[in-house]
Amino acid sequence: MKIGFHTDAFNTSFRSFDACLEWAQANGVHHIECGLIDGVSWIHGLGYQPHVALYEDPLLLRRKMARYGVRFSQVDAAFPLSGKDGPLYGVPYVLKTLPWAKHAGCPCIATTDGLHRPAGLTDEEALDLMKRSYGQILEVAEAYEIFINIEVHGYFTTKPDLLERMLAFCDSPWLGLNLDTGNSFIAGQDPVAFARRFAAKIRHVHVKDVSESLAAQVRGNATGIALSHCAIGDGVNADNIRACLTILRDAGYAGTLSMECEGAGGPLIERSLAWLRATLKELGIPEEA
């Protein structure tokens, strides 16, 4: 399996994407995931945000990343598709991302639903809306041969039965799952059951632990957390993560394990990396560079 990280880890330390490349090189991490910005913002332009804008040339960026020995595992174009704004904003966002991602050498794009039940829609109406949206997206994604991954993150995707319906929206090998060990846990679900049930559909994984205090406060009352302020292996989800890795190993998963945790400027994500590498070794899973 490959080890990577989401550049969200450096949001609160106001690092740039280039600083994330430097961290990856220094720590021998060769796969990276970031959010895509459709437009400009002062915080990004000044180098205080670790994500990438769609106006940045993807071929030149790919060359720069290669100099650091890093490539994309996935880019995040996850404007919620479950609400009324999904077709208006979310679909064009993903469609614009597809050719950019192809030039950038990125194999996957993350999409998701909203954190809450969409206002003014029944569950069936929202599911029908998303089915139409994913149909439009997958028609283009198949042409570019890029995986569209549904991330476990919101009201629908953290419910296994509804997630199964979403993964059946399109009869396409290019529609897959981004398993998130932290979001499934914080929603009151069992990440191990998710991994077991959807193993054949998993194309990308967010590895996220949860602190004991956060779990006590919100587990079962939230559907997702943007970032865990807990190093992977230090929280109450560590045993579940280990079990998920075992299931993925036995299913032949060879994709990326993308760490999602607060970096605190580096130390927390470095502890996460050490734990993940030690756990892979313990489970007999080679780390692919």
66-104 residue pLDDT tens: 999 999 999 999 999 999 999 999 999 999 999 999 999
User: What digits encode the pLDDT tens for the residues 7-49?
Assistant: 999 999 999 999 999 999 999 999 999 999 999 899 999 999 9
Indicate the length of the chain as a whole number: 289
Contact 289, 31 (CB under 8 A): no
Average pLDDT score over residue span 50-73: 98
Average pLDDT score over residue span 128-140: 98
pLDDT of residue 264: 87
Domains of the chain: 2-282 (3.20.20.150)
* Terminal-to-terminal C-alpha distance of the chain: 9
H-helix or E-strand spanning residue 109:
strand 108-111
What is the value of pTM for the model shown? 0.97
What is the rounded CA–CA span in Å between residue 134 and residue 140?
A: 10
Query: In b/e form, how buried is each residue of 35-65, taking b as 16+ CB within 10 angstroms?
Result: bbbeeeeeebeeeebbbbbbeeebeebbeeb
Contact 9, 269 (CB under 8 A): yes
Confidence band of 220 (pLDDT split at 50, 70, 90) = very high
The proportion of the chain whose per-residue pLDDT surpasses 90, expressed as a percent, equals: 96
H-helix or E-strand spanning residue 150:
strand 147-151
Average pLDDT score over residue span 242-266: 96
pLDDT of residue 289: 76
pLDDT of residue 33: 98
